[in-house]
């Protein structure tokens, strides 16, 4: 594949979505063709699966069902949107990907990181990101930020207790150790402008040939 596939990861309220959009416009200004997308979702079938997973009324959902639904949404999103864009040589910035499943379902839900990695490898035909940016923020600050953001939809996972989000953070720590070559960390407690600068700097290092554009 000719394009570069970069994913953004981190806890709720870390600013991934906002920074992803700002960083994508910076790349576009430099003439780097960029596609932005999100998980779970990004295309019709995956958005339908997203609404089942995140529906606040689906409180009886079994953790294995949850993990399989995320993987199914991911598989469809890759096949229909991400892989074709990479084949066209575009840079793809994706809000959450496989590491979310490893941290949330693998660790926080207790299914096991290896088990969840296995079903995801099947779902994505083993395509992994070229690089991942991890937004490092303690869960308490993240949850405080989202409680102040009135525009944000509250979903089933937001309703989880503080302990769940602490487990998510531990899960991400394990994932960072395991994939330390692929994952770069930014300090998400800094201002939006500073975090965006840090992210753009990383992107220009990892996207082949991008420094010729800057
Ligand atoms: P979203 O509203 O997109 O959250 P955020 O703005 O924090 O990215 O909701 C996605 C939720 O789904 C979020 O709580 C993280 C969770 N999630 C998983 O548990 N596993 C996954 O594989 C993915 C992609 C997301």
Q: Given this model, what pLDDT does residue 205 score?
A: 96
Global confidence as pTM: 0.95
Radius of gyration, alpha carbons of the chain: 16
Instruction: Quick: pLDDT tens for 17-54.
Output: 999 999 999 999 999 999 999 998 889 999 999 999 99
User: Across residues 178-187, what is the average pLDDT?
Assistant: 97
User: Across residues 77-104, what is the average pLDDT?
Assistant: 97
Which ligand 1 atom minimizes the distance to the CA of 14? 7
The closest residue, in CA terms, to atom 9 on ligand 1 is 155
How many alpha carbons fall within 13 Å on the CB side of residue 119?
20
How far apart CA 8 and CA 10 sit, in angstroms, is: 7
User: Max alpha carbon distance in the chain (Å)?
Assistant: 52
Regarding predicted confidence, which is higher, 97 or 151?
97
104 lines ligand 1 (CB under 6 A): yes
Helix (H, G, I), strand (E, B) or coil at 125: coil
């Amino acid at each position: 594949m000719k394009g570069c596939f970069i994913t953004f990861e981190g806890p709720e309220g870390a600013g991934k979505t906002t920074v992803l959009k700002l960083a994508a416009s910076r790349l576009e200004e430099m003439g780097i063709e960029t596609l932005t997308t999100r998980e779970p979702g990004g295309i019709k079938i995956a958005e339908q699966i997203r609404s089942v997973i995140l529906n606040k009324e689906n409180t009886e959902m079994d953790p294995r069902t949850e993990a399989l639904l995320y993987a199914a949404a991911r598989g469809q999103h890759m096949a229909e949107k991400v892989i074709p864009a990479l084949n066209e040589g575009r840079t793809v910035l994706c809000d959450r990907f496989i590491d979310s499943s490893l941290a949330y379902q693998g660790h926080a839900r207790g299914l096991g990181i290896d088990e969840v990695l296995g079903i995801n490898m099947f779902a994505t035909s083993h395509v992994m990101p070229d690089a991942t940016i991890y937004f490092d923020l303690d869960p308490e600050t993240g949850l405080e930020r989202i409680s102040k953001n009135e525009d944000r939809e509250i979903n089933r996972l937001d309703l989880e207790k503080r302990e769940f989000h602490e487990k998510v953070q531990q899960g991400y720590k394990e994932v960072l150790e395991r994939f330390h070559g692929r994952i770069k960390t930014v300090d998400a407690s800094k201002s939006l402008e500073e975090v965006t600068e840090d992210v753009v700097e990383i992107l220009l290092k990892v996207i082949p040939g991008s420094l010729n554009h800057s």
